[in-house]
Amino acid sequence: AQTVTQSQPEMSVQEAETVTLSCTYDTSENNYYLFWYKQPPSRQMILVIRQEAYKQQNATENRFSVNFQKAAKSFSLKISDSQLGDTAMYFCAFISNNNDMRFGAGTRLTVKP
């Protein structure tokens, strides 16, 4: 079974600093995709960043970057220059060709002024 584990239920960071959220997954598939989604309080889920497993290069989107370690089945998210608007639940997600997207339990990130 494919599972996604986020071991940090809550994290906090000072504004302008850098924070890393952890995610590990378990799969026997070789071709799959990984995502980080952000869910602000009482707002809908939006995509932060996407990684294709066959690409060795780590994805980056402005202040957001990932450290994708395929052999270790690890997919961490780094947020640089944290902003107050980054406060949200962050979910790591996995999908392969079976179309059943699996999410982790989430990490609640609080950016402090």
Number of residues binding to other proteins, judged by CB under 8 A: 26
Among 28, 30, 100, 113, binds other proteins (CB under 8 A): 100
Site for other proteins in 17-36 (CB under 8 A): 32-33, 35
Q: Is 45 in the site for other proteins (CB under 8 A)?
A: yes
Nearer to other proteins, 30 or 97 (CB): 97
Residue 75 burial by Cβ neighbours in a 10 Å radius (0-12, 13-18, 19+): buried
Q: Confirm or reject binding of residue 96 to other proteins (CB under 8 A).
A: yes
Q: Does 97 bind other proteins (CB under 8 A)?
A: yes
Residues that bind other proteins (CB under 8 A): 4, 32-33, 35, 37, 43-47, 50, 52, 91, 93, 95-106
